[in-house]
Amino acid sequence: MRVLTGIQASGKLHIGNYFGAMKPMIELQEKEELFTFIANYHSLTTSKNATLLKELTFDAAIDYLSLGINPEKTTFWVQSDVPQVLELYWMLSKFTPMGLLERAHSYKDKVAKGITANHALFSYPVLMAADILLLDTEKVPVGKDQIQHVEMTRDIAVKFNNEYGEIFTLPEHVVNEDVATIPGIDGQKMSKSYDNAIDIFMETEKKLQKRCNKILSSSTPLGEPLEYQGCHIYNIASLFLDENRKVELQARYKSGEEGYGHFKKYLKELIWEEFSEAREKREAYLNNPDLVKDILNDGAKKMQIIANNKMAQVRDAVGIL
Ligand code: ADP
Ligand code: TRP
């Protein structure tokens, strides 16, 4: 099964991103033919700073490689290294009714928030359709906010195929319902916009501990049993634990021998340990940016072959010499 995921490089990753999106993606590599790219053309719709966009793109590549994207198994590239996608975007534009784009929730939400609409923001779903259709994608794992974009891709592909024959594979979205919403330090959904996130790559253990200490907890005096249910520390810690270790932690809560401070320390250790290998890999990549460039170039080369084949078919179908 050919699976495509697109990554918006938007800065530091937090453990909500990890458990909600990255871990399931990394696990997919074992089972499916995974294609993953960094959607830097998409980021242009909101970017205001060229240096920052370059940095974010490169950092995202390093973070994903460190956390487990395996270039031996997964084709991993930067969107702009396969610019054929922009040609397809134009071809698909003809099959994209204005009304379809006007109904896009993500566009309407952005306009409602006061973002001044421009054509790139408006036609964002057509570029996403081009990403997906360029490589005969069968499945697209997405968050709920992106389902409509995959549906629009199908609509566009059906219209194109009706006119020119079966050129495009119709993709399906996959939403992983098992993935829970990871809470932040205030118990609300962890998000970089709510200042409640715990980042995956904290510079030092001390900083990570400081962040964990900010998790909201009640003030039960030491010596009394603690309630693990509904405790934000427990909820975050349990992401890192198998069933046996969860039961052990529950027993520690009930024993009354430890306070929230102990559990915050334990949580810091769990997080630090979980990402220790990724941190080492990340250091190595940061010290060897050429290796990262080589990996991305290899991915782009593989994609170039696929993209050229598909574009030859599309050009011929529509009558471009
Ligand atoms: P943020 O809310 O921090 O801006 P993004 O919207 O960039 O996060 O999310 C990137 C990916 O991470 C999405 O697939 C999203 O579903 C997932 N994700 C983000 N926050 C959480 C969370 N708290 N719990 C589960 N998944 C999350
Ligand atoms: N729009 C997606 C997001 O914001 C990123 C993306 C761009 C994408 N092109 C894609 C995702 C193609 C899947 C397939 O998260």
Q: Are residues 81 and 178 in the same domain?
A: yes
* pLDDT at 219 (0 to 100): 78
pTM above 0.85, yes or no: yes
Q: Where residue 20 sits, what CATH number does that domain have? A: 3.40.50.620
103 and 232 co-located in one domain: no
pLDDT at 218: 81
**pLDDT at residue 115 in the model:** 86
Task: Examine the domain organization and report whether 12 and 157 are in the same domain.
Answer: yes
Co-location of 85 and 222 in the same domain:
no
On whether the CB atoms of residues 171 and 132 are closer than 8 A, the answer is: yes
Taking the centre of ligand 1 as the mean of its atom positions, its distance from the CA of residue 197, in whole angstroms, is: 10
Residue nearest to atom 10 of ligand 2 (CA): 6
Residues of the chain with pLDDT under 70: none
pLDDT (0 to 100) of residue 259:
92
- The CA-atom distances, in angstroms, between 274 and each of 143, 179, 201 are 24, 18, 11
Q: Which residues contact 53 (CB under 8 A, 6 or more apart)?
A: 9, 40, 43, 44, 47
Residue 39 sits in the same domain as residue 128: yes
- Reference 138, options 168, 178, 158, 104; nearest CA is 168
Site residues for ligand 1, CB cut-off 6 Å: 10, 16-17, 20-21, 143, 181-182, 189-193
User: Are 226 and 232 in contact, with CB atoms under 8 Å apart?
Assistant: no
Q: Which residue is it, tokens 């001044």?
A: 116
Give the distance (Å) from ligand 2 centre to CA of residue 89.
Answer: 14
* pLDDT tens digits along 51-103: 999 999 999 999 999 999 999 999 999 999 999 999 999 999 999 999 999 99
- Taking the CA of residue 200 as centre, how many other CA atoms within 13 Å lie in the half-sphere pointing to its CB? 27
In this predicted structure, what is the pLDDT of residue 134? 98
Residues 161 and 237 in one domain: no
- CATH code, domain with 249: 1.10.240.10
Q: Say whether both 240 and 295 belong to one domain.
A: no
Pair (13, 110) in one structural domain? yes
**Does 65 share its domain with 128?**
yes
41 part of a folded domain: yes
Q: CA dist 265 to 237, 259, 271, Å?
A: 11, 10, 10
Q: Are residues 158 and 270 in the same domain?
A: no
Looking at every residue in the chain, the average pLDDT score rounds to 94
61 in the same domain as 27: yes
Q: What is the pLDDT of residues 252-281, one digit of tens each?
A: 999 989 999 999 999 999 999 999 999 999
Residues 98 and 36 in one domain: yes
Q: Using CA atoms, how far apart are residues 278 and 266, in angstroms rounded to an integer?
A: 20
Tell me how far the alpha carbon of residue 225 lies from the centroid of ligand 2, in angstroms.
46
Residue range(s) defining the domain that contains residue 215: 205-274
Does residue 59 lie in a domain region? yes
**Domain tally, the chain:** 2
**Whole-number pLDDT of residue 319:** 96
DSSP designation for 96: -
Residue nearest to atom 8 of ligand 2 (CA): 6
